[in-house]
Amino acid sequence: MTDSRPALTMLSEEEEMFRDAVNRFAEDEVRPRVMEMEKATKISPDLLPKYFELGLMGIEVPEEYGGAGGSLFMVTLAVEAISKVDASAAIVCDVQNTLVNYPINRYGTEEQKSKYLPMLTSDTVGAYALSESGSGSDAFGLSARADKKGDHWILNGQKLWITNGAEAGLFVVFANANPSAGYKGITAFIIERDFPGFKVGKKEDKLGIRASSTVELLLDNCEVPEENVLGPVGQGYKVAIETLNEGRIGIGAQMIGVAQGALTATLAYLNERKQFGKSLSEFQGIQFQVAQAATEVEAARLMVYNASRLKDAGHDIAGEGAMAKLLSSQVCERVTSLCVELFGGYGYTKDYPVEKFYRDAKIGAIYEGTSNMQLQTIAKAILKSG
């Protein structure tokens, strides 16, 4: 992590066209369904096929496997654009690209890529299963076990807080194949939903991103073919770490999108709402608060964009990715909270969108590494480079 690599914020013509297409998708297809999905606490089934039709579920996947052959920066643009409308709808796209497609494309055998990537780019939602009840921030303290039996592995355990789990047909699951080796026994597996012994369990009732499914997974003598080991046996911790480095960029994009969505809605309200004979936007005290919020959102955006550009250029972004996620989640909480206040009493009701943006913001400081864990990662990166 050095200060010699400049931020690359200019968009190419292709990137601008892609961003604009996703913006239209978010406005035309996602926005009309937001409240319905929020109340139903699930993604509208007729929306999911549209993600695949637009190519949003395989942005970085090579064209030979049915993907768009794009970049992490394009994933960032897509997640940000959808998050301006609905964070739940955005995380569907984010998890698919950064936590499922990425590790299979990066670590999968040719047989695995040829079989699963075309599924993931055409009609199959994926999920990533690392967390357990006793291993959240201690991500490698896994209780799930994997035992070799002939030409199969037998997995037992429970996974918690698995995003996209209700809709997913394919799962990247981590279990320990050699507990005596500690984290060096952790191994990644590709599990199909109909594998014997695999079951999707309880769905969580959450504060925010309510339409996004968050479930438990039950592994009860789950039979996984030997050819479905993802990466070398005992190297699952490397798969998990590198995948989460990419995933944190997606969460950063989600947070800047949520913050921008709330701020945009608030600006419109401030121009319309009148008090003491003039619109709220004419009061200097409010102008200063909005200016501060807009500045912070832009700063977070630049950090997220820079980290994604660096990753696309082949750099290690452990530090930059952690910084981007940390700052964007902090900014998102501050900005959405301010937006609720600027709406006054209306901001506390469900008649206006900012209360939802506020609830959706909180998850950014929690999943794919809490803010404290990001600080730890940043500190290590700084000390290493210094």
How distant is the alpha carbon of residue 235 from its chain centre? 23
Both structure tokens of 115: 């079989």
Q: Are residues 268 and 280 in the same domain?
A: yes
Q: Which residues carry out catalysis? A: 368
User: What integer pLDDT is reported at residue 2 of this predicted model?
Assistant: 41
pLDDT digits (tens, 9 = 90+) for 192-234: 999 999 999 999 999 999 999 999 999 999 999 999 999 999 9
Q: Is residue 80 part of a domain?
A: yes
Domain end: 211, 234, 257, which one? 234
Q: Where are the beta strands (DSSP E) in 136-264?
A: 145-149, 152-163, 170-176, 186-192, 198-203, 214-225, 229-230
Q: Are residues 137 and 62 in the same domain?
A: no
User: What integer pLDDT is reported at residue 99 of this predicted model?
Assistant: 98
- 3-state SS assignment for residue 189: strand
* Cα 90 to Cα 278: distance, rounded to the nearest angstrom: 37
User: What integer pLDDT is reported at residue 9 of this predicted model?
Assistant: 61
pLDDT digits (tens, 9 = 90+) for 119-132: 999 999 999 999 99
**First vs last Cα of the chain: how many Å apart?**
9
Contact (CB, 8 A) for 135 and 105: no
Both structure tokens of 257: 């999108």
Q: Are residues 184 and 290 in the same domain?
A: no
Q: Are residues 248 and 181 in the same domain?
A: no
Average per-residue pLDDT for the chain: 96
Please report which helix (H) or strand (E) contains residue 275, including its range.
strand 274-275
Task: Report the CATH number at residue 23.
Answer: 1.10.540.10
Q: Are residues 166 and 29 in the same domain?
A: no
Q: Are residues 265 and 343 in the same domain?
A: yes
For 350-375, what is the mean pLDDT? 97
- Domain containing 228 equals 127-234
Task: Report the CATH number at residue 149.
Answer: 2.40.110.10
Q: Are residues 158 and 226 in the same domain?
A: yes
Q: Is residue 5 part of a domain?
A: no
Q: Is 371 exposed, middle or buried (0-12, 13-18, 19+ CB in 10 A)?
A: middle
Q: Is residue 24 part of a domain?
A: yes
Q: Is residue 1 part of a domain?
A: no
Both structure tokens of 105: 């494309």
* Cα 138 to Cα 40: distance, rounded to the nearest angstrom: 33
pLDDT class of 138 with cuts at 50, 70, 90: confident
Q: Is 303 exposed, middle or buried (0-12, 13-18, 19+ CB in 10 A)?
A: buried
Give the strand pairing for 198-203 and 170-176.
Answer: unpaired
Q: Are residues 369 and 257 in the same domain?
A: yes
Task: Report the CATH number at residue 352.
Answer: 1.20.140.10
Domain end: 93, 124, 155, which one? 124
Q: Are residues 23 and 72 in the same domain?
A: yes
Q: Is residue 325 part of a domain?
A: yes
CA torsion 301→304→309→312, rounded to 10°?
A: -150
Q: Is residue 2 part of a domain?
A: no
Phi, psi at residue 352, to the nearest 5°? -125, 155
Please report which helix (H) or strand (E) contains residue 263, including its range.
helix 236-272
Listing DSSP states for 27-84 in one string gives IIIIGGGHHHHHHHTS--TTTHHHHHHHTTT-SSS-GGGTS----HHHHHHHHHHHHT
pLDDT digits (tens, 9 = 90+) for 27-40: 999 999 999 999 99
Q: How many domains is the chain partitioned into structurally?
A: 3
Q: Is residue 7 part of a domain?
A: no
Q: Is residue 3 part of a domain?
A: no
User: What integer pLDDT is reported at residue 307 of this predicted model?
Assistant: 97
* Cα 61 to Cα 53: distance, rounded to the nearest angstrom: 15
Q: Are residues 90 and 216 in the same domain?
A: no
Q: Are residues 203 and 339 in the same domain?
A: no
Q: Are residues 288 and 213 in the same domain?
A: no
Domain end: 234, 266, 287, which one? 234
For 140-165, what is the mean pLDDT? 97
